[in-house]
Structure 1
Amino acid sequence: MNEAEAFINGRVLLLDKPLHWTSFQLVNKVRWEIKQKFKIKKIKVGHAGTLDPLATGLLIICTGKQTKQIDQYQAQEKEYTGTFELGSTTPSFDLETEIDQTFDTSHLTSDMIKNATLQFIGDITQLPPVFSAVKKDGKRLYEFARAGETVELKPRQVSISEFEITKIESLTVHFRVVCSKGTYIRSLANDFGKALNCGAHLSSLRRTRIGNFKIENAHTLEGFLAGLE
């Protein structure tokens, strides 16, 4: 089987999504490059589990017949690392929007911050961020949010098996989370801030694992393109 046939037959590609790219843009780029390189008119390419533009890390991209396995990959446990910024909130729960409120943080101690993780371990309910791709009445939530419309959100149950604070640098808190499909780390940041009574938003995020697939085995976009050559 030559390489063109391998892509059509179905391959699973592990890519490290660059900052500021949408997952959809990366899929489109990969599809276009495969079609150009191998002179293929049509090929299915899809991804398992969206990453926000401000997140980096592991994106599973499936080609050809492997696209049928997307739901299976998407359902697997995920691991993330990143940072929360304590003492302020944003409407999007991350840096996509400007800070809208600031809070007193003088009551915080490192023990309080570390112990606050405990109330989020296990099965919890979350509200998705208003700036998210979740659909309501056929529209994505971020479309309502950008138009200034308010929407009633439904809580969803997710599961967090590990949540640890790995470093505290002033109001920047480094964390690692292992969670189920559908967990919003932005919502976790917002809820974490509420639990500490100081507000918080997500300031960086990196997906390091999906099931048994690890970021160490992923290609950068440049590396993938070089491999096609």
Structure 2
Amino acid sequence: MNGIILVNKPIGITSHDLVVKVRKALNQKRIGHTGTLDPIADGLMILTIGKTTKILPYIADVYKEYVCEMKFGQRTDTLDITGTVLEEKEVKFISKEELIKILNSFLGKSLQKPPMYSAKKIDGQPLYKLARKNIEIERESCEIEIKEIELLGYFNNTLKFRVVCSTGTYVRVLVQDIANKIGNFAVMTKLTRTKIDKFKLENAFTLQQIKEGNFTLISSYEVLSSYRYIELQDLTKIYQGKKMNFDFCNDEIVMITKNNEVIAAYQRNDEDGLYYCKRGLW
């Protein structure tokens, strides 16, 4: 079995738990994913099955959409509602206009420091394992981009917003930064991933549907369609990993295809203009 499956992760399990359950349901050992979701979060995850796991590097760096709810007045060690409360603060009135202005101030590129309670690894060690031992280490800030942000509602000191952001953005940290600009504390109370690139949550399958065999797989050919496809009938040189001359294009990465099947990823060398095999996908 090869292909990609869109899965609706439920609240309360880790991304690893989800992979294990799907692996068991499909009787497949080789399953990958394009990004984790915290246990508190639900929504869209893209799982790659079988040899399709080879395409992961080419679908990981995409924009993702979330709907988030945050409650003002508290700060926790995990930055979400599941953590230990560290501080509390009285919530003062803020108008809808002010909220929109503050949200819009986050549009564009900026630097964001990963939280200690995260799966990010430093020297091979996940940060959350250190955090559980009350160990905090210095983390390097990473560039992120907020492409869209929209106020969806504000009620009972709870702010609901939609955000489209780059891979690697921690929405929990964004919640904290929003609260800081307002002059208060806040915790993330709910997070749903609604979109990854062109793939939407509404087209995802539940674990129960997958267990019952009620799902469809998406081919690599459809998933990688944002790249330039170069159709070849003779794949001898491709299978041998030889460099190719595609003087009709300047794309950095191209996909070699045959009969609607992606065979390999090739990358352009700026020095000689030739394309070199980056990864075989057959």
Asked if 1:195 corresponds to 2:146, the answer is no
Aligned partners of 2:3 and 2:52 also within 8 Å: yes
Equivalent residue, structure 2, for 1:170? 156
Shift of 1:211: 0.6
- Compute the TM-score of the two structures, normalised by the length of structure 2: 0.73
Mapping 1:44-193, distance limit 5 Å:
44-193=30-179
Letter in 2 for 1:29: K
Secondary structure class of the residue paired with 2:16: helix
Aligned partners of 1:73 and 1:210 also within 8 Å: no
Give distance in 2, aligned partners of 1:71 and 1:90. Answer: 34
Letter in 2 for 1:133: A
Provide the alpha-carbon RMSD of the alignment.
1.4
Indicate the structure (1 or 2) with the bigger Cα radius of gyration: 2
Q: How many residues align?
A: 215
Aligned partners of 1:131 and 1:142 also within 8 Å: yes
Letter in 2 for 1:13: I
Letter in 1 for 2:135: E
Aligned partners of 1:46 and 1:63 also within 8 Å: yes
Shift of 1:43: 3.3
Give distance in 2, aligned partners of 1:94 and 1:120. Answer: 20
1:148-177 alpha-carbon deviations (Å, 9 max, x no partner): 112111111100011111110121111000
Secondary structure class of the residue paired with 1:120: coil
1:13-55 alpha-carbon deviations (Å, 9 max, x no partner): 00100101111111111111212xxxxxx63111111111110
Shift of 1:102: 1.2
Shift of 1:127: 1.0
Secondary structure class of the residue paired with 2:90: coil
Aligned partners of 2:111 and 2:141 also within 8 Å: yes
Give distance in 2, aligned partners of 1:22 and 1:145. Answer: 17
Asked if 1:24 corresponds to 2:16, the answer is yes
Equivalent residue, structure 2, for 1:13? 5
- Compute the TM-score of the two structures, normalised by the length of structure 1: 0.90
User: Where in structure 2 are there 5+ consecutive unaligned residues?
Assistant: 216-282
Change (3 A) 1:118 1:34: same
Equivalent residue, structure 1, for 2:203? 217
User: Where in structure 1 are there 5+ consecutive unaligned residues?
Assistant: 1-6, 36-41
Taking CA–CA contacts closer than 8 Å with sequence separation of 6 or more, which of the two structures ends up with the larger relative contact order?
Answer: 1
Shift of 1:87: 1.8
Secondary structure class of the residue paired with 2:80: coil
**Structure 1 outlier segments of 4+, above 6 Å:** none
1:185-204 alpha-carbon deviations (Å, 9 max, x no partner): 00000111111111111110
